[in-house]
Amino acid sequence: MKFILTAVIMLFYPMSAFANTPEVVAVNAGKSGGAWRFDVTLKHADAGWDHYADGWGVYLTDGTELGYRVLAHPHVNEQPFTRSLSGVIIPKGTKSVIIRPHDKVHGTGPDFVYKLK
């Protein structure tokens, strides 16, 4: 019985590891001139000023940060919500970027890979 319980817990652990972190649910991006604009939709169980999604970043696959959008307040009654970041310069030849959300309590959430169009 103990083995079965342990197996069930381990089966669901990867899903629960990010249970309280923000999640990127949609990304829309476009290039204007030499820079990109990202509209990112996040979902998070914001609980007030002590625990909320406080930002997201655009990164190259090697981890280089290209831009970061600070979220200055909780969105308790506005879920999911979309915020934008303009002026992101992406190196020529880049085929995809990573959008990585962050919250005040748990840190970074799961990466969202966005293929550039």
Pairing outcome for strands 81-88 and 96-103: unpaired
**pLDDT per residue as tens digits for the range 73-97:** 887 788 898 999 999 999 999 999 9
CATH topology of domain 2-115: Immunoglobulin-like (2.60.40)
**pLDDT per residue as tens digits for the range 5-44:** 444 444 444 433 445 889 999 999 999 888 999 999 998 8
Question: Cα 5 from chain centroid?
Answer: 32
User: Mean pLDDT score of the chain, rounded to an integer?
Assistant: 84
Distance (Å, rounded) from C-alpha 45 to C-alpha 61?
A: 27
Distance (Å, rounded) from C-alpha 37 to C-alpha 97?
A: 13
Distance (Å, rounded) from C-alpha 39 to C-alpha 81?
A: 10
Its pTM stands at: 0.80
The reported pLDDT for the residue numbered 66 is 98
What one-character DSSP code corresponds to residue 48?
Answer: B
The DSSP H or E segment spanning 12 is: helix 2-16
